[in-house]
Amino acid sequence: MPLAKERIYTVEDIEALPDGQRAELIDGEIYDMSTPTRTHQRLVHHLDRIIGNYMVEKGGSCEVNPAPFAVYLNQDDYNYIEPDITVVCDPSKLDDKGCHGAPDWVIEIVSPTTRSRDYGIKLFKYRMAGVREYWIIDPGENRIAVYDFENESMYMSYTLSDKVPVGIYDGDLQIDFSALNF
């Protein structure tokens, strides 16, 4: 007896979800997204503001987008992700629907339901797609994992009381998490 085939979902299925229902699509599998916590939202807001202010001050082509922001990671019909923070420095990748291709910098804030995806499949997908830098902020573990894929996948670990340098800006931008009072 042949094994039953699992359904492979596409971006069309994600776009057909009812208004307000958020999900991600990774390799044809849909992952529902839960409502973020207050701590999660505070982190997203603070990071968006700090990164955005830095970009305004320095100029350049980079753009920061907080979730919900669509990333069509592999420019195919089977991968659609909404990172918590997305930085894109190539304006040709952007349109009104989101980012088409690999962002330069992605930040994910871990929740209990996303832990294995953030540390596992997303880490792999972002690296293979060409993301330059990936941060995993884990408030429950007081940890920030920084992956600098541009420099041989160098990994650094920080706490939520450290200053964390941003690799894509050659350390010119450092985010002082102790100042965020978490």
pLDDT over 80 (residue 20)? yes
Q: Can you give the pTM of this predicted structure?
A: 0.93
Q: Which of the four pLDDT bands, split at 50, 70 and 90, describes residue 179?
A: confident
- Any idea what DSSP says for residue 81? B
pLDDT in tens, 84-110: 999 999 999 999 999 999 999 999 999
d(CA 96, CA 79): 18
Contact 35, 68 (CB under 8 A): no
Residue recorded with tokens 């007896």: 1
Contact present, 99 and 86 (Cβ < 8 Å): yes
